[in-house]
Structure 1
Amino acid sequence: MIYKNKKEESGASLNVAVLCENDALLPLTQWGCWLSGQTYVPLSNKLSSEELNYIVKDSKARLILASSHNEIIAKKCTELFDIPLIIIDHNFIPEHDFSSSFLEKILLAVGDNVVLEGTLNNDFYTSSIAMLIYDTKKDLKPKGCIITHKNLQSRINIICKAWNYKQNDYLLNLLPSDYSAHSVHSMMCLLNVGGKVSFYSDLSHIWSTLLSVNQPTKDRPNILTALPSTYIKIIHEYDKIFSEDSRIAEYIKTYCTQNFRLMISGPQPLSMNIFHHWYKITGHKILRHYEMPETGPVISNPYVEDKEQKRYHNSVGFQLPQTNVCIVNSEGEKLMESIFDFKDLDSVEIQKCSPKLFKNLEGEPLVGELQVSGSTVFKGYFNLSGNKYFKNNYFKTGVIVSFKNGIFELLGHSEDDVIKSAGRSLSSGDIEILLLSHPHIKDAAVVNVSHTLWNEKICALCVPESGVSLDLENVRVFCAKWLPSYMCPDLIQIVPHISRDCVGNIDKEELTKLFFL
């Protein structure tokens, strides 16, 4: 089946491409599209001009909204496809005092209901498309993931209840704009419950923001979300400024413990030392979860820890409610399946699931591709036909996971990311993120090379910071301190550069040929 916007022919709902930063314009443009019945198509300025042009063409965007910072990029697109361009900045938003006279102009009473003037009725949102999110996986053309308003509402409901979002919550968002655009926890959940979101990107003053220096109580964040790489930068900033002052260090830990209730990281690998250092600095264990645009949130570490449920650096935790999951091995055999009881839709507790196991490996973890179904899962890809991405109503994520005792651990997004050594399946990403946390390593990549005895050798490439002489023995000691022996690299090479595409992907097969074969 070829998916198109149902209202496209009438002109009532069109695809609007948006190119802006991770700031207040992001939710304003997103919700502006939805309130007027349009489909939101976020773009990223990290993409090459070829990829941007492809997405605008494939999505059949009829309008581009762009921040002034992205005007040059956006203008080239609009000229190429002869579509309108609107440049917006914070001055674009009119100021209102939100007095009763202003509210009387925009609110309409219809029977017992109060509606916002210019918006569409609920029937429109029960069947319409909210977003097209384009992935940018290496060696493949971007695909437009169709996310409906019903998908979004399911995702929002699950996270709001599982993580206890409230009206008085204030979230500090340090995520990139392309992540914030689809990850409901980063702004949609807060706006849904009436909370606040603050966007921030200047990490040179991040600790003043975290500690709410000179901020009134009502403007102090109590939730933080960031990528693991951002947590690394914040820790390095802490070490530069505060590490020698024990009194300030104690104050920071006390402040964060008393004023923050949750600190979140996404599905990207989180190294043990970052997890440990962050807990030592702030008193908070970072909460990891797994999601992707196609599925929404699927797995999460627990919001509240107890004897049964703990947060770990190397796991994404337990299955979330209202999602069904199964694990399938490379031969297509189903290893396990866990189905949520949809009769109990109000259940939002993150529970240690009792899956049906199709294979018993005598205490060893089950390893295979994660597949997902449920109300959060997208409807298909825009302009693509066929069902090769689904099997028995399960979406094939392409993500390799390990499952044991009800807990999921991410190993990688392809077989290239999984290293099989000494009978274990290991995540190369977990080793890479540890190496990236080393103060003298600018970039790193971990690949697997065939070995007659141990299946595969773990080989690491490290790019030193400019002007720094990287000591290999120091790197080995660093790895040995934070990794179990079976995850430590067998071979480490220092290289001047690691090639990545515009969104940071690495061709590991090419790296292996270049340096180790």
Structure 2
Amino acid sequence: MTYSRFILLSIRNFIFHTKPKLRFLSTVRPIYYESVSQHANNVALIDHSSSYTYGQLYSVARKLSRRLVPLCQQQQKSTDDTLDKTSVQLGVLCPNDASFIVAMWASWMVGATVVPLSLQHPPASLAYFLNDAKCRGVIVGDDRGNDLMKTTLENNSQIDIPVVNINKKNLSTKVTPEDINDDLLLSTTIDRSERSNALIIYTSGTSGKPKGCVLTFDAVQAHVDSMVKAWRWTKDDVILHVLPLHHVHGLINALLTPLFIGARIIMLPHFDASKSWEHLVQPGFDKHITVFTAVPTIYSKLIYDYDAKLVSRPQTRDFVREQCSQMIRLMMCGSAALPESIYRRWYEISGHSLLERYGMTECGMALTNPLDGERIPGTVGRPMPGVVVRIVRENAMSPTGYETLVEADSDNTKVEIKNTDEPIEGELLIQSPTLFKEYWRKRNETRATFTVDGSFFKTGDICRYDPEKNVFSIRGRQSMDIIKRAGYKISALDIERILLEHKDILECSVVGIDDSALGQKIVAIIVPKSLNNITNLTIDTIRQYSKQYLPNYSLPDSIIIIDHIPRNAMGKVNKKELARLAV
């Protein structure tokens, strides 16, 4: 034992006291390395059941990783030439608590790529994600996950993978800093590079089924570094986490960033307006909330709860505003456009001008209003650190396929259009170290989403630059087939495919209609097979039917019955015209 410890200490001294050029170039320090090594005894997470230090989370993750090793050693059999036979993907189906962090870290420790899954997804969706990602196993964190996976496996014979359970009793493990340091040394020698895959996050596209967006470790790290710099995260921050963990906003912005810097996370199992208010103004902990980030729908619900329960008492109003304005340093909003009515009302309640920013799964956070200085409602500020954006229009003669109208980074803006003070509008392109690597096993789709020379990502969003205010704003999507509802990016085509399977539906088209609370609401325009038989085509029956195949946030909010869907001379549906019928 003494000899082994001597060897470990000698190796550690070699690594940390030699010149950088002698470092092991085939390895990469895990994203959790600094926080665990420097803040092992600090509280990392407080969830619905307990609090956990960085050391506890790490120790339990290491124990779980040993159970995952056999899954990674299995030989992958596939004739698919788009699949790297050495790659290992593991699904993580855990609730919003410590189990998710443990599962994610443990997967990375054994060299696996994490595929975040949601307990909101129906079995059919889970089966698709697991099969498409070629997952070798699924890690579950509670009984709900177990039951959901049991149903998924029973109903989908093509999937036969093991389910690994996290033992919550082990989360109380005591561990010494010395043990953590020795163990950290071993965990950093996995043969992985910065370009290795860290995450596959499924996101809806404008056509076909959901695509797996592959993020490498260097993209995730660049994403985190950019947010730490732009929003000045420190280890003294405390964030209230109320977001889903299978999307970038909840996973990278609100979880990996504070974990990286050594901050503290207070995580609710799901968003609850009353409980959120309790944490925002009456923490009951030794540290107050300093950072909060959410989607417009959550702010809308918080406002509703405030107006229903708190606004009638003047002393309470003053207390809420004082606590929020003096104790919380940053409140952000993203994942969907923020209505100005919510922006203004939230300022009245909390004293905070919400920091609105813009990002996508494929590119991370790209634009942000300033941490200091004026935040203009309806805008998304300027590029994040390290990001270059362009506003363009198509030009087949250009090497990129586009003509650049405006190019900007966080400090400078170059306007190519001469002698104009008018706002400039066009498609938004992004170049950034945070860009995704590829759509999982979809080479053509990956190529199509970049410019011809591969240098810029095409967002599909229309962006406007205001030369007078020197800020950018998002005007909407080029495609009507992506709906942004309650912070989720939803494919209208996915919903249409499900509805067209209904026995009483002949045709349908799904559009997004602007809504002050949701951002957009989902409206299904339906042509029945018989206008004399529409008793089964009510919003309630359609939602109940769709629940079998779609998550709750993708269910139609309303339906319209018509006798035919208008089409142009080419037989195509003009959704912009169709959307006017739903207003």
Runs of 4+ in 1 over 6 A off after TM superposition: 495-500, 505-508
Whether the aligned pair in 2 keeps the contact of 1:170 and 1:197 (CA below 8 Å) is yes
Equivalent residues in 2 for 1:33-52, closer than 5 Å: 33-52=107-126
Question: Which residue of 2 is the match for residue 216 of structure 1?
Answer: 285
Give the 3 Å change call, closer, same or farther, for CA 103–435 of structure 1 in structure 2: closer
Q: Which residue of the partner structure matches residue 82 of structure 1?
A: 160
**1:27-66 alpha-carbon deviations (Å, 9 max, x no partner):** 2222221122210001223334333222211111001112
Verify the 8 A CA contact 2:92 2:140 in the aligned structure 1. Answer: yes
Say which of 2, 9, 16 aligns to 2:90.
16
SS at match of 2:192: helix
Residues in 2 aligned to 1:175 and 1:271: alpha-carbon distance in whole angstroms: 19
- In structure 2, what is the equivalent of residue 365 of structure 1? 423
What is the distance in 2 between the residues matched to 1:185 and 1:165?
11
TM-superposed deviation, 1:515: 7.5
> CA-to-partner distance for each residue in 1:166-195, whole Å, 9 max, x for gaps?
011000011122225775221111111110
Q: Are positions 1:156 and 2:218 aligned together? A: no
Residue 504 of structure 1 aligns with which residue?
554
> Alpha-carbon deviation of 1:24?
2.6
1:390 match: secondary structure: coil
Query: Whole-Å Cα distance in 1 between the matches of residues 361 and 335 of structure 2?
Result: 12
Q: What CA distance in whole angstroms lies between the structure 1 residues aligned with 2:180 and 2:244? A: 33
Does structure 2 conserve the Cα–Cα contact (< 8 Å) formed by 1:3 and 1:381? Answer: no
Match of 2:458 in 1: 396
1:292 and 2:360 equivalent? yes
- Change in CA separation of 1:397 and 1:97 when aligned onto 2, cut-off 3 Å: same
Residue 128 (structure 2) pairs with residue 54 (structure 1): yes
The amino acid of 2:282's aligned partner reads S
Partner of 1:313: 377
Matched, 1:377 2:435: yes
Distance 1:498 1:370 in 2: 36
**Cα contact 2:241–2:265 (8 A) shared by 1:** yes
Instruction: Tell me the equivalent position of 2:148.
Output: 73
Distance 1:216 1:73, change over 3 A: closer
CA distance in 1, matches of 2:338, 2:289: 23
Report if the CA contact (8 A) 2:109-2:190 is conserved.
no
Residue 119 of structure 1 is aligned with which of 168, 172, 187? 187
The change in CA–CA distance for 1:166 and 1:122 in structure 2 (over 3 A counts) is farther
Equivalent residue letter for 2:355: L
* Equivalence map 1:232-247=2 (5 Å): 232-247=300-315
Take 2:161 and 2:302, find their aligned partners in 1: how far apart are those partners? Answer: 41
Change beyond 3 A, Cα 1:69–1:130: same
Deviation at 1:137, TM superposition (A): 3.4
* Deviation of 1:396 (Å): 1.2
Q: Distance in 2 between matches of 1:265 and 1:43?
A: 23
1:120 maps to a residue whose letter is T
Which deviates the most, 379-388 or 282-291? 379-388
Question: What is the letter of the counterpart of residue 404 of structure 1?
Answer: D
Measure the CA separation in 2 of the matches of 1:56 and 1:505.
22
What is the TM-score with the length of structure 1 in the denominator?
0.74
Residue 13 of structure 2 corresponds to which residue in structure 1? none
2:174 to 86, 89, 97: 97
Find out whether 1:30 has 2:104 as its counterpart: yes
The within-5 A match list for 1:369-448 is: 369-386=427-444, 387-391=447-451, 392=453, 393-405=455-467, 406-416=470-480, 432-434=514-516, 444=521
AA at the equivalent of 1:25: S
Check the 8 A contact 1:37/1:119 in 2, yes or no: no
Structure 1 residue aligned with 2:332:
264
3-state SS of paired residue (2:443): coil
Q: 1:311 to 1:384 in 2, by over 3 A?
A: same
Query: Letter of the aligned partner of 2:581 in structure 1?
Result: F
Asked if structure 2 preserves the Cα contact closer than 8 Å seen for 1:432 and 1:445, the reply is: no
TM-score normalised by the chain length of structure 2: 0.66
Asked if structure 2 preserves the Cα contact closer than 8 Å seen for 1:2 and 1:385, the reply is no
Matched residue SS, 2:425: strand
Deviations 1:377-423 (Å, cap 9, x if unpaired)?
Answer: 111111112322211211111122222223111122334389xxxxx
Give deviations 1:294-350, integer Å, cap 9, x for gaps: 111110010111xxxx2123111111121122122356542434365xxxxxxxxx5
Partners of 1:299 and 1:89 lie apart in 2 by 40
The number of aligned residues is 424
Counterpart in the other structure of 1:354: 413
Specify the code of the residue in structure 1 equivalent to 2:198. Answer: A
Partners of 1:145 and 1:296 in 2: CA distance: 11
- Name stretches of at least 5 consecutive residues in structure 2 with no aligned partner: 1-79, 396-400, 483-510, 525-538, 560-572
Distance 2:379 2:523 in 1: 19
The residue identity in structure 2 corresponding to 1:217 is D
Taking a change above 3 Å as real, the CA distance of residues 445 and 16 of structure 1, as seen in their structure-2 partners, is closer
**Partner of residue 278 from structure 1, selected from 334, 337, 346:** 346
SS of the equivalent of 1:322 reads: coil
Percentage of pairs with the same residue: 27
RMSD: 3.3
- Distance in 2 (CA, whole Å) between partners of 1:103 and 1:338 is 48
CA distance in 1, matches of 2:363, 2:148: 30
Aligned partner of 2:112: which letter? Q
Residue by residue over 1:403-456, the C-alpha shift from the partner in whole angstroms, topping out at 9 and shown as x without a partner, is 2223111122334389xxxxxxxxxx998242659xxxxx84699xxxxxxxxx
- Provide the rounded CA distance (Å) in 2 between the counterparts of 1:261 and 1:336: 36
